[in-house]
Amino acid sequence: MKTVPISQDAEPESISAYGPARSTVTTTPLNAEDIRKMEAYFRASVYLCLGMLYLRGNPLLKEPLVKENLKARLLGHWGSDSGQVFTWMHFNRVIKKYDLDALYVSGPGHGAPAVLSQAYLEGTYSEVYPDKSEDEEGMQRFFKQFSFPGGIGSHATPETPGSIHEGGELGYSISHAFGSVFDNPNLITLTVVGDGEAETGPLATSWHSNKFLNPITDGAVLPVLHLNGYKINNPTILARISHRELEALFFGYGYQPYFVEGSDMKTMHQAMAATVEHCVLEIRKFQKQARDSKKAFRPRWPMIVLRSPKGWSAPRDVDGKFLEGFWRAHQIPITDVASNPDHLKLLETWMRSYKPEEVFDKTGKLIPELRALTPTGNARMSANPVGNGGLLRKPLHMPDFRDYSLPDIKAGYSFLGSMVNMSKFLRDVVAKNMTNFRIFGPDETESNKLGEVYKAGKKVWLGEYFDEDSDGGNLATEGRVMEMLSEHTCEGWLEGYILSGRHGLLNSYEPFIHVIDSMVNQHCKWIEKCAEVEWRAKVASLNILLTATVWRQDHNGFTHQDPGFLDVVANKSPEVVRIYLPPDGNCLLSVTDHCLRSVNYVNVIVADKQDHLQYLNMEEAIEHCTKGAGIWDWASNDQGCEPDVVMASCGDVPTHEALAATALLREFLPQLKIRFVNVVDLFKLINHGDHPHGLSDREWISTFTNDKPIIFNFHSYPWLIHRLTYKRPGQTNLHVRGYNEKGNIDTPLELAIRNKTDRYSLAIDAIDRIPSLHNTASAARERLLNLQIKAKTQAFDNGIDPDYITMWRWPYDRVKPDGQ
């Protein structure tokens, strides 16, 4: 019953997944009786996994297996199931022994059968879904629903009790796990990382999350790297490097890796029991040390390397071809069971080798001595409320955003920083919610003018400190801002933090947010699906604040210009996505307040961080943001009559230029009747039938008219407006200007001119779209063109726009007579 101490030198022999257990920890906490029960529990678990893959009838194999018992289409994955089951059940033992608060994150792809089997054996599944009861009939339904039309998928989808991590797209298990334990000091999130997943970039860097974990105020993650050796059709890298390299790699990442390797069941149970217990005691020891001393430090956190055969406990070969311990065990292990009677027999023999009749009673219920191995109530990882974080979510204590208003705004004169002002509000949101709100960002929070938040909570940093850090470093072991130059990790942390019941905001440069397109997609899908799962409580919205926007990336050039994240988001379900482009500082405050209070959305806010003209006082801003889109009377002169043209805008810089164009038009062509419309909430543009925020066609007409030219200046690619307004009345009169893909080093004005989003181009555009002006406005048109050329020339010669401030300031004084 002894395990073999692991050899430090032998390589590559030591990287085999076969043989008696080899392990770093060699204590033997289990007696023979314990091991007997462990083996039985393992058998019950993997029997359920196979049942999910294959059976729609005869769930306990009380009858001989016939092909009519099989699902018509076999779907699902076997590869990582046994290793995950093994890991989960061993944690159960220490949960019970040490009264742990624990959550399980399943990283390997398509490993749901493992997780589902545990939820079912622990009784949680039947509590949540009473028709999947703990009896033969329930088991049959439980099997059939898996990867079956109308049923559940092969990942730990939202329907899975205890899951906050679906894992459909690989790479985020570790960052999600860390997100769940921040500010959860008692929680240990046991996280199985697949060795396929471990090859992804996001996973590879997320190991460094340990430099951001405070052992006093945060919980701990216990990663289990599951080296089962194979992906779909390939070996994995980490399973094919030497033991020394593997150990060094994780030491280098800051962990103490504990190895458990082999295939022999009895010794593997002993080794895993010893190792898991040792790791938990290490975690507890480090936490106690830090908490007793009140000195946070970065311990060498433990992690486990579990090397076991892929598809462990399957037949080693079938018809002379490797199954267990090879990539063929990845998905359905034997595929032709319906057509090949020998293989059907093989499957039956295999399934019966788990002795279902021994581990389940006649009614189909797990026998009591095995049930006694599981924790009870919320101690079950499948029932931990953290896994249904909405239950734990408390609304934020919100300061009144009105208290942070930019006061006495004179529309088009006041010139202030919207973002830097909003950061004071954000600072106080942090201050009032010191244990359940964090700000995340890839090294750009200060650059994004949000540095004020450090006054309430510094940047978490558990790396080494230098003396020079006191010179404005804003680092602290206990902080509220999380900065690592990995958008993936920041987003993963935030998702984990939200899904475990807390609140947060990610700030990022707009051009690089595409880095996490796919992550945001997956989160949208998660929360959309959650809304259909009755027992899932609503979680806080995922808030993404984008700045360093395309219109101010003139000098950084082409690679920093891409506003297309909005297109990605707009493809997601209208149930879950919201996009806001506040035109000024008070609108930014109002929108941010709204987003932080909301639940179950992905909110995207796009706002420039530079100083800007301001337009609305707070009450006006609230009204405007509440409407989401509306006429700005103070900038319009069509009161009491039909406008000749509608000037419209969405986004702060585009609004600025559209207003300047309006001013120019009103100066040069005072007879012209202009209506100015601003859109804050992008989805106001869609028809009400397609998005809950959408304007009705009647509202649309009363705002935009149905027959007048609309010159619409937009922040992002113009196509997005066209697709949102598809089939709107008067749609053919809509002329959208926005960003087009073309790279140069420019001044902001040149950039705008090249994209025809500058004041002069817009004004000329309007003139050209108004038939009545075709013969009368040629002088005005000429003047506008000359102004544009002059501005452009000056910019080119000097490297800055002619009058840098005025460039961004609305020359509203020129049209004062009609104005406010």
Using CB under 8 A as the binding criterion, the count of chain residues that bind its own copies stands at 131
Q: Which of residues 735-794 bind its own copies (CB under 8 A)?
A: 741-747, 750
Which is it for the CA torsion 280, 11, 106, 353, positive or negative? negative
| Residue 204 touching its own copies (CB under 8 A) | yes
Name the residue type at position 78: W
Question: What does the alpha-carbon distance between residue 139 and residue 135 come to, in Å, rounded to a whole number?
Answer: 6
Compare residues 262 and 582 and give the one whose CB is closer to its own copies.
262
H or E, element range at 117: helix 112-121
Name the minimum Å distance from CB 270 to its own copies. Answer: 26
| Residue 468 touching its own copies (CB under 8 A) | yes
Q: Please give the full DSSP string across 663-692, using - where no structure is assigned.
A: HHHHHH-TT--EEEEEESBGGGGSBTTTST
Please identify which residue in 231, 269, 278, 502 interacts with its own copies, judged by CB under 8 A: 231
**Distance from the Cα of residue 43 to its chain's centroid:** 35
Question: What does the alpha-carbon distance between residue 241 and residue 153 come to, in Å, rounded to a whole number?
Answer: 33
Please identify which residue in 64, 377, 395, 463 interacts with its own copies, judged by CB under 8 A: 463
Residue 412 sits at the vertex; the CA angle it makes with 409 and 414, to the nearest 5 degrees, is 45
Which region, judged by CB under 8 A, interacts with its own copies, from 122-130, 339-347, 652-660, 721-729? 721-729
Name the residue type at position 376: T
Name the minimum Å distance from CB 588 to its own copies. Answer: 22
Q: Which of residues 515-534 bind its own copies (CB under 8 A)?
A: 515, 517-518, 521-522, 524-525, 528-529
Which region, judged by CB under 8 A, interacts with its own copies, from 23-31, 647-655, 716-724, 768-776? 716-724
Question: What does the alpha-carbon distance between residue 759 and residue 761 come to, in Å, rounded to a whole number?
Answer: 6
Q: Which of residues 726-745 bind its own copies (CB under 8 A)?
A: 726-727, 732, 741-745
Compare residues 308 and 590 and give the one whose CB is closer to its own copies.
308
Compare residues 291 and 316 and give the one whose CB is closer to its own copies.
316
Beta-carbon contacts of 472 under 8 Å, excluding residues fewer than 6 positions away, are: none
Question: What does the alpha-carbon distance between residue 135 and residue 143 come to, in Å, rounded to a whole number?
Answer: 12
Compare residues 242 and 598 and give the one whose CB is closer to its own copies.
242
Which region, judged by CB under 8 A, interacts with its own copies, from 83-91, 246-254, 611-619, 755-763? 246-254
Please identify which residue in 83, 196, 364, 457 interacts with its own copies, judged by CB under 8 A: 196
Q: Which of residues 36-65 bind its own copies (CB under 8 A)?
A: 56
Q: Which of residues 374-413 bind its own copies (CB under 8 A)?
A: none
Compare residues 372 and 745 and give the one whose CB is closer to its own copies.
745
Name the minimum Å distance from CB 92 to its own copies. Answer: 28
Name the minimum Å distance from CB 508 to its own copies. Answer: 12
Name the minimum Å distance from CB 478 to its own copies. Answer: 17
Residue 696: burial class (beta carbons within 10 Å; 0-12, 13-18, 19+): exposed
Please identify which residue in 130, 252, 368, 640 interacts with its own copies, judged by CB under 8 A: 252
Compare residues 408 and 534 and give the one whose CB is closer to its own copies.
534
Give the E-state strand segments of 450-489 in sequence order: 459-460, 475-476, 481-483
Question: What does the alpha-carbon distance between residue 437 and residue 429 come to, in Å, rounded to a whole number?
Answer: 8
Q: Which of residues 129-168 bind its own copies (CB under 8 A)?
A: 147-155, 157, 166, 168
User: Which token pair is 433?
Assistant: 């919610």
Please identify which residue in 403, 796, 803, 806 interacts with its own copies, judged by CB under 8 A: 796
Compare residues 143 and 350 and give the one whose CB is closer to its own copies.
143
User: Which token pair is 134?
Assistant: 């703990």
CB 107 within 8 A of CB 170: yes
In three-state form (DSSP H/G/I as H, E/B as E, the rest C), the secondary structure along 483-548 is ECCCHHHHHHHHHHHHHCCCEEEEEEEHHHHHHHHHHHHHHHHHHHHHCCCCCCCCCECEEEEEEC
CA of 250: how far to CAs of 116, 302, 401, 722, in Å? 30, 10, 46, 50
| Residue 201 touching its own copies (CB under 8 A) | yes
H helix intervals, 598-706? 618-627, 652-668, 697-704
| Residue 234 touching its own copies (CB under 8 A) | yes
Please identify which residue in 59, 79, 171, 390 interacts with its own copies, judged by CB under 8 A: 171
Binding pattern for the stretch 627-666 against its own copies, x by CB under 8 A and - elsewhere: ----------------------------------------
Compare residues 281 and 485 and give the one whose CB is closer to its own copies.
485
Name the minimum Å distance from CB 389 to its own copies. Answer: 19
Please identify which residue in 96, 291, 722, 783 interacts with its own copies, judged by CB under 8 A: 722
Q: Which of residues 534-573 bind its own copies (CB under 8 A)?
A: 555-560, 562, 564, 567-568, 570-573
User: Which token pair is 25?
Assistant: 């920890």
Compare residues 525 and 675 and give the one whose CB is closer to its own copies.
525
Name the minimum Å distance from CB 732 to its own copies. Answer: 7
Name the minimum Å distance from CB 145 to its own copies. Answer: 9
Question: What does the alpha-carbon distance between residue 480 and residue 497 come to, in Å, rounded to a whole number?
Answer: 12
Name the minimum Å distance from CB 173 to its own copies. Answer: 13
Name the minimum Å distance from CB 780 to its own copies. Answer: 27
Question: What does the alpha-carbon distance between residue 372 and residue 394 come to, in Å, rounded to a whole number?
Answer: 34
Q: Please give the full DSSP string across 297-330, using - where no structure is assigned.
A: ----EEEEEEE--TTTTS-SEETTEE-TTSGGGS
Name the residue type at position 780: A
Question: What does the alpha-carbon distance between residue 548 and residue 538 come to, in Å, rounded to a whole number?
Answer: 31
Name the minimum Å distance from CB 649 to its own copies. Answer: 20
| Residue 495 touching its own copies (CB under 8 A) | no
How many helices (H) and strands (E) are present in the chain, helices listed first?
Answer: 25, 24
Q: Which of residues 475-494 bind its own copies (CB under 8 A)?
A: 475, 483-489
Please identify which residue in 33, 63, 292, 321 interacts with its own copies, judged by CB under 8 A: 321
**Peptide bond preceding 12 in cis form (omega within 30 of 0):** yes
Beta-carbon contacts of 53 under 8 Å, excluding residues fewer than 6 positions away, are: 74, 75, 76, 77, 78, 113, 146, 147, 332, 333
Please identify which residue in 32, 130, 233, 292 interacts with its own copies, judged by CB under 8 A: 233
